[in-house]
A and B are shown apart, each in its own frame.
Chain A
Amino acid sequence: MKTDELIAHLSDDLTPVPAHYVGRVLAMGLGLGFLLSAILMLAAMGPRPDLSVAMEGGAFWMKLAYTLSFAALGLWMVERLGRSDTSARRPAAFLLVPILLLLIVAIVQFYQPGIDRHHMVMGDSWKVCAIDILTISVPAFVAVFWALRKLAPTRLTLAGAGAGLLAGGIGASVYAFHCVEYTAPFILIWYTGGMAASALIGAGISRWALRW
């Protein structure tokens, strides 16, 4: 086929694009990801038994704010990197904000007098936390990658990392409704670890999963 013919074909094919296409696609991926991950968490683990009590305290909300901030920054990265030639330097740099804030809280908690420091860092569930976050993230991972494939990522590794971060943020936020840990050092290490692993996996499979 000649290029002139191709251009004629493509022009004939032209239909107006829906307004806010990228936003809609991402909203769909995000909604689907949260929904499916929540279903998986409820089916496989169940919410923490003392959820209503925990929701009255600050630790639960600190944990949720931390994981949601990762999801939000991941979403921002995906929104940028899904549009061909764009940079995600700003959202990536903003990741330092929640990390540093939580680090401050973690240091304050850790140096409180008369506290069981080992338990503060390891909790009762350090062995499963990061793995569980990854597991809960799987449906969100699929939904987010499905959405990103509809866009035009041209830096696949970065876009994959952003998508993995978003999926990990969703998974960790959902997992926060199951997990009873409440100390800042625990969240800083194990929650961040789970979400970072998700981002790494996203970057690792990007060449294969995002190619178009």
Chain B
Amino acid sequence: MIAAEAQYRDWMLAGLSGDRAAYSRLLAQLGGHLRAYFARRVGTDAEDLVQETLIAIHTKRATYDPALPFTAWVHGIARYKLIDAWRRDKRRATVSLEDAPDLFAHDDSEAAGAKRDVEKLLAKLPPQKRDLVRAVKLEGRSIAEEAEATGLSETVVKVTVHRAVKSLGQELGQGMEGRGEN
């Protein structure tokens, strides 16, 4: 990434003042670097992390200090998302142990279990994402309302909810597999 620092920084500065062409070129380039970075470290979920990091770069772009190297800023965010994903996986792995008594305490046919499961799943999301999913998917509020309420743009709300629901779906899938093995 170091050779490209000057070019990327120029694109970033243009993007920060609203130049969409430069910005999408930048994101596409960063996407390539991130893909390689994550693929070496996590394997199958790499593309998810690429997208999550691109969204993070987008929503946090105002925190980039032009006096500092741009590539270091991107690397900081990518590393953070990587560590966050590792922590999430670790928690997932330990949850199955802690859940052992829970497995026999409840019967899957209980209808009431569904609601509890939804809340349990939601608890795995970071607070901001959780609130968005709850508002849009459970309380039926519109994307526009939520964008207004949170101060995020509609696109970011839409993309965040979409991705959060997708990740919950995967979470659910893995939970099922785990149960099947028991």
CA distance A14 to B20 in the complex (A): 7
Interface string of A1-23 (1 = CB under 8 A from B): 10110111111111111100110
Q: Which residues of B contact A1 (CB under 8 A)?
A: 51, 159, 162-163
- Residue numbers in A under 8 Å from B51 (CB-CB): 1, 3, 6
Q: Measured between alpha carbons, how far is A11 from B73 in the docked complex, in Å? A: 19
Which stretch of B60-68, B96-104, B169-177 is in the interface? B60-68
Verify if A83 is at the interface (C-beta below 8 Å from B).
yes
Task: Report whether B28 and A83 are in contact in the complex, using a CB–CB cutoff of 8 Å.
Answer: no
The answer to whether B79 and A11 have CB atoms under 8 Å apart is: no
Alpha-carbon separation in the docked complex, A85 to B20 (Å): 25
Verify A12–B63 contact, CB threshold 8 A. Answer: no
Once the chains bind, are A10 and B55 in contact (CB under 8 Å)?
Answer: yes
Q: Mark A142-168, 1 if CB is under 8 A from B, else 0.
A: 000000010110100000000000000
Interface membership of chain B positions 136-166, coded 1 if the CB is closer than 8 angstroms to chain A and 0 otherwise: 0000000000000000011110110011000
Chain B positions within 8 Å of A18 at CB level: 62
Find out whether the CB atom of A16 lies under 8 angstroms from the CB atom of B16: yes
Q: Are A211 and B159 in contact (CB under 8 A)?
A: no
Among residues 59 to 107 in chain B, which have CB atoms less than 8 Å away from a CB atom of chain A? Answer: 60-65, 68, 72-77, 79-80, 84
Q: How many residues of B contact A (CB 8 A)?
A: 44
A16 and B75 contact, Cβ closer than 8 Å, known pairs A3-B51, A83-B63, A152-B63: no
- For chain A residues 46-84, which have a beta carbon within 8 Å of chain B? 82-84
CB-based contact B68/A212 at 8 Å? no
Residues of B within 8 A of A4 (CB): 28
A32 to chain B, nearest CB (A): 16
Residue contact A84 to B63, C-beta cutoff 8 Å: yes
Q: Are B65 and A151 in contact (CB under 8 A)?
A: no
Across the interface, which residues of A come within 8 angstroms of B58, CB to CB?
10, 13-14
Known contacts A22-B63, A22-B65, A83-B68; A154/B27 CB under 8 A? no
For residue A7, which residues in chain B have a CB less than 8 angstroms away from its CB? Answer: 24, 27-28, 31, 54
B128 at the interface (CB under 8 A from A): yes
Contact of B31 among A3, A21, A85, A149 (CB under 8 A): A3
Closest to B50 in A: A3
Docked complex Cα distance between A3 and B54 (Å): 9
A11–B63 CB distance below 8 A: no
Instruction: Across the interface, name the chain A residue whose C-beta is closest to B58.
Output: A10
B121 at the interface (CB under 8 A from A): no
CB neighbours (8 Å) of B80 from chain A are: 84, 154
Bound state CA distance, A6 and B74, in angstroms? Answer: 18
**Do the beta carbons of B76 and A15 come within 8 Å of each other?**
no
Are A9 and B77 touching (Cβ within 8 A)? no
A86 and B76 contact, Cβ closer than 8 Å, known pairs A1-B51, A211-B126: yes
Q: Are B55 and A22 in contact (CB under 8 A)?
A: no
Contact assessment for B61 and A17 in the assembled complex, using a CB-CB cutoff below 8 Å:
yes
Smallest CB separation, B22 vs chain A (Å):
9
CB distance from A87 to the nearest CB of B (A): 10
Among B15, B18, B27, B128, point to the contact of A212 (Cβ < 8 A): B128
Closest-by-CB residue of B relative to A85 is B76
B89: min CB distance to chain A, Å: 15
Set of chain B residues within 8 Å of A85, measured between Cβ atoms: 72-73, 75-77, 79
A-B interface, 6 closest residue pairs, ranked by CB to CB distance from nearest: A85-B76, A84-B76, A11-B24, A21-B62, A13-B155, A154-B80
Besides the known contacts A3-B50, A7-B27, A18-B62, 7 further A-B residue pairs in the complex with CB atoms under 8 A apart: A1-B162, A14-B20, A21-B62, A22-B63, A85-B77, A85-B79, A212-B126
